[in-house]
């Protein structure tokens, strides 16, 4: 672990790959069977009092070759529920006091598929920023797609698919997610 200040708790069966690229500013809890892969240009950077739920996967780079991903920044007191998937090959920044419910999925890249005479897999990917500001609650099973910015104080209903930016203090729901009211 690099420049880490504070205790690290790693659960049974949890795997940390490339731990020299993972840092934390205070207490970091990685629950049972979570997988945290540090291989990325800027590493994985966690604030204080961060918890990573059971069986969560954080993957900034593909295990099967290709470019190394950008990385992840997570603020203080942020928690990832059980079974989340964080695909941070593009840059993902998550603020303070963010709650990700069980099974939340974050993606920061999309496959290129414009050439119909080439397999999609051979066309590569485009990487995007994904930003989640402070004090956000993302309900169970929600998906946040590449290039989205979630404002401060936002609530996202369980099962929603967020494909567009959401303004501060909004409540969003649906597939695709739409603002249903303001807080």
pLDDT, residue 183, reads: 96
Structural domain includes residue 3: no
- From the list 5, 111, 164, 178, the catalytic residue is 111
At residue 124, the pLDDT reads 85
Residue 106 resides in a domain: yes
What pLDDT score does 10 carry? 95
> Is 158 within the bounds of a domain?
yes
φ/ψ of 146, rounded to 5, equals -60, 140
Query: Domain holding 30: CATH number?
Result: 2.160.10.10
The reply to whether 2 falls in a domain is no
Domain count, the chain: 1
Q: And the tokens for 119? A: 């397999």
25-49 pLDDT, tens digit each: 999 999 999 999 999 999 999 999 9
pLDDT band at 5 (very low <50, low <70, confident <90, very high): confident
1 is a domain residue: no
Residue 126 in any domain: the answer is yes
What is the pLDDT averaged over residues 145-168? 98
pLDDT for the residue 61? 79
Structural domain harbouring 119: 8-182
Q: What is the mean pLDDT of residues 161-170?
A: 98
Mind listing the pLDDT tens digit for each residue in 140-151? 999 999 999 999
Q: Is 111 a catalytic residue?
A: yes
Question: In the sheet where 130-132 sits, what is the strand order?
Answer: 22-24, 44-46, 72-74, 92-94, 130-132, 149-150
Beta strand 44-46 with 35-37 is: unpaired
Residue 29 lies in a domain: yes
Give the contacts of 122 (CB within 8 A, at least 6 positions apart). none
């Amino acid at each position: 672990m690099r420049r880490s200040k504070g205790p690290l708790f790693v659960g049974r069966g949890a795997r940390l790959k490339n731990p020299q690229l993972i840092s934390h500013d205070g207490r970091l809890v990685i629950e049972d069977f979570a997988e945290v892969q540090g291989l990325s240009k800027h590493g994985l950077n966690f604030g204080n009092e961060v918890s990573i739920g059971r069986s969560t996967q954080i993957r900034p780079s593909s295990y099967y070759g290709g470019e190394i991903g950008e990385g992840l920044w997570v603020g203080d007191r942020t928690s990832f529920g059980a079974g989340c998937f964080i695909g941070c090959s593009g840059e993902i920044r998550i603020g303070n006091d963010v709650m990700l419910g069980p099974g939340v999925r974050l993606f920061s890249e999309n496959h290129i598929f414009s050439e119909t005479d080439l397999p999609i897999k051979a066309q590569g990917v485009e990487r995007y920023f994904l930003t989640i500001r402070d004090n956000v609650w993302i309900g169970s099973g929600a998906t946040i797609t590449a290039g989205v910015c979630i404002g401060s104080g936002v609530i996202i209903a369980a099962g929603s698919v967020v494909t567009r930016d959401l303004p501060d203090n909004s409540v969003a729901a649906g597939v695709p997610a739409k603002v249903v009211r303001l807080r």
